[in-house]
Amino acid sequence: MTVRGAEVAGSGKGASAGDAGVTTGVLARLRRDAPWWLLPVTVVVVLGGFIVYSIWASTTGVGEARNAPYLSPLYSPGWLANHIPVFPGLLCILVPIAFRGTCYYYRKAYHRSFLWDPPGCAVPELRHGGYRGETAFPLSLNNLHRFALYGAVVYIPILAFDAANAFSLGGHLYLGLGTAIMVLNVVLLAGYTLSCHSLRHLVGGSVDCFSCVRFGRQRYGAWRGVTRLNVFHPTWAWVSLFSVWAVDAYVRMLNAGWFTDPHLLFR
Amino acid sequence: MAIAERPAQRGTAPQPGAGSGSDGAPLEFHVFKGIPGEEQGEVTYRVPPVTGMVVLDAIHWIQKHVDTDLACRWNCKAAKCGSCSAEINGMPRLMCKTRIDDLPDGPITVRPMTAFPLIKDLVTDVSHAYEVNRRIPQFTPAADEPSPFVIQEMDLERIYEFRKCIECFLCQDVCHVLRSHDLQEQFYGPRFFVRVASLEMHPKDTVDRLEAVRTEGGLGYCNITKCCTEVCPEHIHITDNAIIPLKERVADRHWDPLRAVSRLLLGKR
């Protein structure tokens, strides 16, 4: 009803004095300002797509993932992939999966998109009661992120070695489009790894007084450096995911004969 | 509702269309009214647009010209006192900092914060937040620390950011642990993780609050969805700079066997 400029648009159940918040219906509290569902849907499609792709790719065998002088990062290190008879790719990607699965950025992505805990800021959740967060298994394993970091750091020189090998074919200098993609992949993965929140803590974040500890100034410098990278951690996370995808897909397309690698070979 | 029966008193009000709204038409506001235990609902008001108008301007216009008993807490109207927190179009924001021309076309909804008990209309009872604050041990320097403190700039850099907090409690309101799961008794909330972080990182503080923040503070309930950071009007990086560093410090103590061996051998905390 409208009464001289003011009208009642809706009403809800009354709340007792001790109740928390307003107890009108969920629809009344739903966000009306932005398509909050756009981000979770995008993450489900892109991240879900990558998960499905990487599981498929890691089960096809190393033969599909190698095209001299290139090697897919999903099958790196190559010597490990060569010595495992069944699904070597799955073993090779265990550390990257652990690193991304416990990553502070990806936690936001999958909690919002896959677990709907919550699906968006100020958006009502489907589940009520029984929420344990990261206090209970399995999400409490996210506290082990630093150990996944240690493994991920080892992967950077391994992938750099693969990229260096991509400069050589039959003992001659080789510069191909794939070489450039592999180098870019190493740079982006290094950016993602070195911008890690756990690394930021380990190099200096745990120190309360830089001027009071040994190598304090150096640790402060390292902390500032990682902090600068850390600001873009979500960006590093996504672009490095795409670069891994790009290298693997590029090698497979070469193997499928879709095109030949544009290159320069210096004999 | 009785409130809807009151006549609008628009004698001295600016006329609809006098400002520079998109088409000069009155703005439609759906404002929550009610008190606990009685009928509650959204009341529609039409407010004349004015250039540069913020939501709090509209609420004040309604109070002056239509509903003199519409309750709203505010103080500085400069985004510094943190009083006028509300949910605008469903998103926690300061009413004094939310410009009308930043909002999408259509009716604008203004409701009180969901995570706090309602007192009346747009005013909620935030006293629980102050009770949590009292549970956190205050800054405690060493007894023999010479005063005034001499502190290096690099030792204080991190905690400058935390001092910008205006205690608007929008982060508490948007946090799903408090908002959807009602874990007020087990979880400090983002605002107080910021406070704990500012104390824990202070070079002159001597008190250990990590065990308290892990147990009674419920730090593990936070699942890093970063909504607190998104709504902070002071742009404090609550999750990245306060909560995650606290989680890492807790991991040092409870989830890192290498650190445990190091502590055992070197005798450090």
Contacts of A111 (CB under 8 A, 6+ apart): A117, A118, B223, B224, B225
For residue B149, give the CATH number of its domain: 1.10.1060.10
Q: Do residues B109 and B147 both lie within one domain?
A: no
- CB B223 within 8 Å of CB A112: no
In A115-171, where do the E strands start and end? 168-169
- Let me know how long chain A is: 267
Query: Helix, strand, coil shares of chain A as percentages rounded to 5?
Result: 60, 10, 35
Surface-to-core class of residue B168, CB atoms within 10 Å of its CB (0-12 exposed, 13-18 middle, 19+ buried): buried
Q: Do residues B211 and B256 both lie within one domain?
A: yes
Q: Can you list the residues of chain A whose pLDDT is less than 50?
A: 1-23
Q: What is the pLDDT of residue A267?
A: 78
Which stretch of DSSP H or E encloses residue A222?
Answer: helix A216-230
Last residue of a domain, one of B82, B104, B124: B124
Q: What is the pLDDT of residue B10?
A: 36
Last residue of a domain, one of B75, B108, B124: B124
Distance CA A86, CA B45 (A): 68
**Residues within 8 A of A (CB atoms), B 104-133 only:** 104, 106, 109, 111-118, 124
Alpha carbon distances (Å) from B164 to A195, B56, B195, B198, B246: 25, 22, 11, 11, 19
Domain range for residue B15? 2-124
HSE-CB for A106 with a 13 A CA cutoff = 23
Distance CA B55, CA B77 (A): 11
Distance CA B188, CA B62 (A): 36
DSSP state of B4: G
Q: Does the beta carbon of B152 lie under 8 angstroms from any beta carbon of chain A?
A: yes
Contacts of B194 (CB under 8 A, 6+ apart): B162, B165, B171, B236, B238, B242
Q: What is the pLDDT of residue A15?
A: 32
ipTM over 0.90: no
Cα distance from B46 to chain A (closest Cα, Å)?
6
Distance CA B199, CA B125 (A): 26
Tokens found for residue B111: 């409701």
Dihedrals φ, ψ of B86, to 5°? Answer: -160, 180
- Whether the bond between A138 and the residue before it is cis, its omega within 30 degrees of 0, is yes
Task: Pick the closest to residue A101 from A158, A144, A130 (CA basis).
Answer: A144
Q: Do residues B32 and B63 both lie within one domain?
A: yes
Q: Does the beta carbon of B156 lie under 8 angstroms from any beta carbon of chain A?
A: no
> What is the chain A residue with the closest CA to B122?
A22
Helices (H) and strands (E) in chain A, counts: 11, 7
Q: Which residues of A touch B183 (CB under 8 A)?
A: 131
Q: Does the beta carbon of A151 lie under 8 angstroms from any beta carbon of chain B?
A: no
The reply to whether residue B43 touches residue A7, judged by beta carbons under 8 angstroms, is: yes
- DSSP H helices in B112-189: 127-135, 153-160, 170-174, 176-179
Distance CA A100, CA A111 (A): 13
Last residue of a domain, one of B76, B108, B124: B124
Q: Do residues B136 and B261 both lie within one domain?
A: yes
Q: What is the pLDDT of residue A54?
A: 93
Q: Which amino acid, one-letter code, is at A43?
A: V
Which stretch of DSSP H or E encloses residue B32?
Answer: strand B27-33
Q: What is the pLDDT of residue B266?
A: 75
Domain boundaries, chain A: 33-124+134-195+232-256
- CB B58 within 8 Å of CB B101: no
Q: Do residues B60 and B168 both lie within one domain?
A: no
- CB A123 within 8 Å of CB A36: yes
- CB B140 within 8 Å of CB B207: yes
For residue B31, give the CATH number of its domain: 3.10.20.30
Cα distance from B73 to chain A (closest Cα, Å)?
16
Q: Does the beta carbon of A126 lie under 8 angstroms from any beta carbon of chain B?
A: no
> What is the chain B residue with the closest CA to A207?
B201
Q: Do residues B28 and B74 both lie within one domain?
A: yes
In chain A, where do the E strands start and end? 2-3, 6-12, 66-67, 70-71, 168-169, 172-176, 263-266
Alpha-carbon torsion angle B122, B134, B180, A30, nearest 10 = 30
Q: What is the pLDDT of residue A190?
A: 98
Alpha-carbon torsion angle A148, A132, A241, A195, nearest 10 = -60
Q: Can you list the residues of chain B whose pLDDT is less than 50?
A: 1-22
Cα distance from A240 to chain B (closest Cα, Å)?
20
**For chain B, how many structural domains are there in total?**
2
Helices (H) and strands (E) in chain B, counts: 10, 7
**Residues within 8 A of B (CB atoms), A 208-237 only:** 208-212, 217, 220, 230
